[in-house]
């Protein structure tokens, strides 16, 4: 069975790739992965031989597939490269021109768990930030079917203590608040509304503001496993609250 994936998730990734991003970390790698990541994949591709077949899974706009293409071009060998993703992905300007001898074949709307690729086909299957998005038992079964005997499956995943994993855990905590207290935005907006656009709070309004902050604290107490700082973080995210600068609230 394929992992239950909402059409909203797929649409979100399709929209992301439609913007022309080549990697999923555009702030760090705008043109494609470089440095240690590139060295890692170059080492992996060193085992490829003429007529080898490579598949990139969860490929987005094909960052790793293009690294395989560039690697094979540099070595002057011809290989067959495919890139699949369950979302809608794009053919971008990196596709082969006169300077390349290889190109990448893209397949949108293809889930790893049901790739419909041929049995025993690929010499190397590559996935970066990929398998963790899939239903792992089904994905492993499918990949075992389509990889050749003695082929390589090379997956890069985030380390559990990496900055990305830590940041994501923090966002999960924040998202939890919405599940446990879905009215929080409404309440924060109500709290911020009187102050929007003001530099200072009228001193007479201070008790009211204090009262509102108490409301936040009560809300925080109602969800005890979420630290108050997370609520404060949410409050700061609202322009009106950020603009508030008045008598200190005790």
Q: How far is the CB of 190 from ligand SAM (least distance, A)?
A: 36
Q: How far is the CB of 4 from ligand SAM (least distance, A)?
A: 10
Beta-bridge mates of residue 128: 156
Q: Torsion over CA of 107, 111, 112 and 117, rounded to 10 degrees?
A: -50
Residue with tokens 């200072």: 200
**CB burial of residue 5 (10 Å; 0-12, 13-18, 19+):** middle
Q: 57 is written with which tokens?
A: 């899974």
Spatial neighbors of 55 by CB under 8 A, at least 6 apart, are 81, 82, 83, 84, 117, 121, 122, 124, 125, 126, 146
Work out which of 106, 129, 191, 231 binds ligand SAM, going by CB under 6 A. 129
- The reply to whether 133 sits near ligand SAM by the rule CB under 6 A is yes
Cβ atoms of 83 and 98 closer than 8 Å = no
Q: How far is the CB of 188 from ligand SAM (least distance, A)?
A: 30
Q: 86 is written with which tokens?
A: 């369950």
Cβ atoms of 41 and 71 closer than 8 Å = yes
Work out which of 41, 45, 48, 60 binds ligand SAM, going by CB under 6 A. 60
Spatial neighbors of 56 by CB under 8 A, at least 6 apart, are 62, 64, 65, 68, 81, 82, 83, 84, 125, 126, 127
- The reply to whether 41 sits near ligand SAM by the rule CB under 6 A is no
Work out which of 117, 124, 130, 188 binds ligand SAM, going by CB under 6 A. 130
Work out which of 48, 58, 68, 177 binds ligand SAM, going by CB under 6 A. 58
- The reply to whether 220 sits near ligand SAM by the rule CB under 6 A is no
- The reply to whether 177 sits near ligand SAM by the rule CB under 6 A is no
Q: How far is the CB of 84 from ligand SAM (least distance, A)?
A: 6
- The reply to whether 59 sits near ligand SAM by the rule CB under 6 A is yes
Per CB under 6 A, the segment of 41-49, 56-64, 185-193, 209-217 that binds ligand SAM is 56-64
Q: How far is the CB of 36 from ligand SAM (least distance, A)?
A: 14
- The reply to whether 63 sits near ligand SAM by the rule CB under 6 A is yes
Work out which of 52, 55, 79, 85 binds ligand SAM, going by CB under 6 A. 85
Q: How far is the CB of 241 from ligand SAM (least distance, A)?
A: 32
| The pairing of beta strand 147-156 with beta strand 80-84 | unpaired
- The reply to whether 191 sits near ligand SAM by the rule CB under 6 A is no
- The reply to whether 134 sits near ligand SAM by the rule CB under 6 A is yes
Cβ atoms of 61 and 26 closer than 8 Å = no
SS3 100: coil
Taking the CA atoms of the chain, what radius of gyration do you get in angstroms?
25
**Residue least distant from ligand SAM (Cβ):** 58
* Site residues, ligand SAM (CB under 6 A): 3, 13, 23-24, 58-60, 63, 85-87, 111-113, 128-130, 133-134
């Amino acid at each position: 069975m394929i992992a239950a994936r909402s059409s909203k998730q797929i649409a979100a990734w399709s929209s992301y790739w439609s913007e022309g991003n080549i990697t999923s970390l555009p702030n760090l790698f705008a043109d494609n992965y470089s440095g240690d990541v590139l060295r890692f994949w170059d080492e992996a591709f060193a085992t490829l031989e003429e007529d080898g077949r490579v598949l990139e899974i969860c490929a987005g706009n094909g960052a790793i597939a293009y690294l395989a293409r560039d690697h094979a071009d540099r070595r002057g060998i011809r290989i067959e490269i495919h890139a699949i993703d369950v979302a809608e992905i794009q053919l971008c300007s990196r596709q082969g021109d006169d300077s390349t001898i290889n190109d990448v074949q893209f397949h949108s709307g293809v889930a790893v768990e049901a790739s419909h690729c041929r049995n025993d086909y690929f010499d190397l299957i590559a996935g970066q930030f990929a398998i963790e998005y899939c239903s792992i038992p089904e994905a492993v079964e499918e990949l075992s079917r389509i990889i050749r005997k003695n082929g390589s499956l090379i997956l890069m995943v985030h380390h559990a203590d990496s900055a990305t994993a830590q940041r994501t855990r923090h966002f999960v905590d924040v998202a939890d608040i919405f599940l446990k207290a879905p009215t929080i935005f409404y309440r924060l907006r109500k709290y911020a509304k009187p102050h929007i656009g003001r530099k200072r709070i009228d001193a007479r309004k201070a008790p009211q503001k204090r009262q509102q902050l108490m409301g936040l604290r009560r809300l925080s107490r109602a969800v005890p496993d979420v630290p108050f700082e997370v609520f404060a973080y949410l409050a700061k995210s609202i322009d009106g609250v950020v603009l508030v600068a008045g008598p200190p609230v005790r």
